Amino acid sequence: MKPRLLELPLLQNWSCHNCGGCCKKHLIEITEEERLRIDAQGWTVAELPDGLPPYVHLGPASFGKHRLSQREDGACVFLNEAGLCRIHAKFGEAAKPLPCRLYPYVFHPTGKGLIVGLRYSCPSVIRNAGRDLDAQRDDLKHLAQATVADWPDNIPAPRLSDKSPGAWPLVDVLLAAFIEDLGDRTIPLRLRLVRVAAWTELLSTANLTELTVGQLRETCRVVRATVAQLLTDDPAAGGNVAIPPTDRLTRLSFTQLVAYYTREDTVVDQSRGWGGRWKLLRDILVFTFRRGRLPDLSPTWPGILIRDVERNLLPWFTPQADELCTRYLVTKLQSRAFCGPAYYGEPVIEGLWSLLLTIPVTVWLARWHAITRMTSNSANGGRDAGRVEAASSESLRIEQIDLETALARVDHNHGYSPALGLRSVKSRLRSFARREQLTSLLWNVTREPV
């Protein structure tokens, strides 16, 4: 395999801060080579918790595949009381399975080589905490080599849209336009979202592969400029962003989409049989019909009445929120983590739409988290959160911790949850665009109280 050019995201730092979160959320499948290496390490029952073996079969139809064992709370069998990895402590980082060494990094093809991406389910990624990635380039090259060893040298470009086959030079033109528009923090974030959604909706109706690189670049320039004139908040230009209201069908579809992003199922959750499936069905019905109590997501994120999340708009937009959301979008775009093999085989434009929707989903979840956080001192542990109208508007708002917690939950699933790759979910996304409801969701779900 020939060496691959390695690109790094421009806005992101990271170092591990040993929170142990990744060791509690993920199922780690191991290769046969890794299984034999763990056997050779000689782990005894006394060294591991609860009498668990180091690894178990992946599942009843796994055909000889294995995964690391997990405790009842989802924690890896090798996670010790100090929140550190037993394998790492005893044998060094290189002795760990590749997925454990890789997280939160991911690698995606660019046409010229590889680019590094990061998963925002990691708190240190969310907070941009740690070393500059350029200082870690040598380590990343070794990880990349191990990750893509069996990849073909020439990886085809993702489709540009449902109507347009892909070509890497044309993908790069679209990416440059997306990043320029979404990364421009001189423009309000909500306006950036709806403008990009609007002009990409127009492009999606044409066969873009009939254009040269220069023609596509000029087409993007003209369409973007036209949309910017039509959707403006500049009073001097008669600014009044005219976005259609969100209809009832779209609101129902959106909360169903939110439901997919709330899940963090562990192996224990998946083994609860019919009882677990029945609870999952009840939870889905709450999101579908927008009535009833939302499920408990964690001990610090209890369920509340869904109507309280829907009815109570909260202030949320700050420079810190803008920085986080912008960095998230740009990093996902730069790393090509939103389309092609990285995102359920979706084309560039349709994958972009899914990425844009992570912002209103995050704001919706952050609103829920803020309400439970602010009411957590009540005698029943926050279950009076439905009475949030009694709280003053000055005291109840979405803080940075609410956004960070919500975005970590969203990115845990975005591109990784099988549910989000279902045909029904993809069809729903295209329905939003077809009925001019994509811009409506982006604008209306993220609005603040007047």
Can you read off the two tokens belonging to residue 311?
């009815």
The string of pLDDT tens digits covering residues 367-419 is: 999 999 988 755 444 454 445 554 444 578 999 999 999 999 999 999 999 99
Predicted local distance difference test score (pLDDT) of residue 392 = 44
Cα separation, 65 vs 27, in Å, equals 13
What does the pLDDT read at residue 381? 46
Q: pLDDT tens digits, residue range 266-324?
A: 665 666 666 667 777 888 899 988 999 999 998 899 999 999 999 889 999 999 999 99
pLDDT at 214: 97
pLDDT in tens, 114-157: 899 999 999 999 999 999 988 898 899 889 888 887 777 788 99
Q: Would you state the pLDDT for residue 377? A: 52
Q: For the segment 157-207, what is each residue's pLDDT rounded down to a tens digit?
A: 999 999 999 999 999 999 999 999 999 999 999 999 999 999 999 999 999
- Whether 24 has a pLDDT exceeding 80, the answer reads yes
Q: What is the mean pLDDT of the chain?
A: 88
Is the separation of the CB atoms in 22 and 266 below 8 Å? no
| C-alpha to C-alpha distance for 69 and 51, rounded to whole angstroms | 11
Q: Which residue has the higher pLDDT, 209 or 395?
A: 209
Tens digit of each residue's pLDDT (9 = 90 or more) over 33-85: 999 999 999 998 889 998 899 999 887 666 788 999 998 888 999 999 888 89
Q: At what angle do helices 168-182 and 213-230 cross, to 10 degrees?
A: 30
Report the pLDDT value the prediction gives residue 267, as an integer from 0 to 100.
60
Residues in contact with 242: Cβ distance below 8 Å, sequence separation at least 6, in sequence order: 231
Residues 6+ apart with CB under 8 A from 105: 116, 117, 118, 119, 140, 143
If pLDDT is split at 50, 70 and 90, which confidence band does 1 have? very low
CA atoms within 13 A on the CB side of 290: 16
Q: What is the mean pLDDT of residues 232-244?
A: 67
Q: How far is the C-alpha of 267 from the C-alpha of 272, rounded, in Å? A: 9
pLDDT of res. 145: 86
How far from each other are the two terminal CA atoms of the chain, in whole angstroms? 58
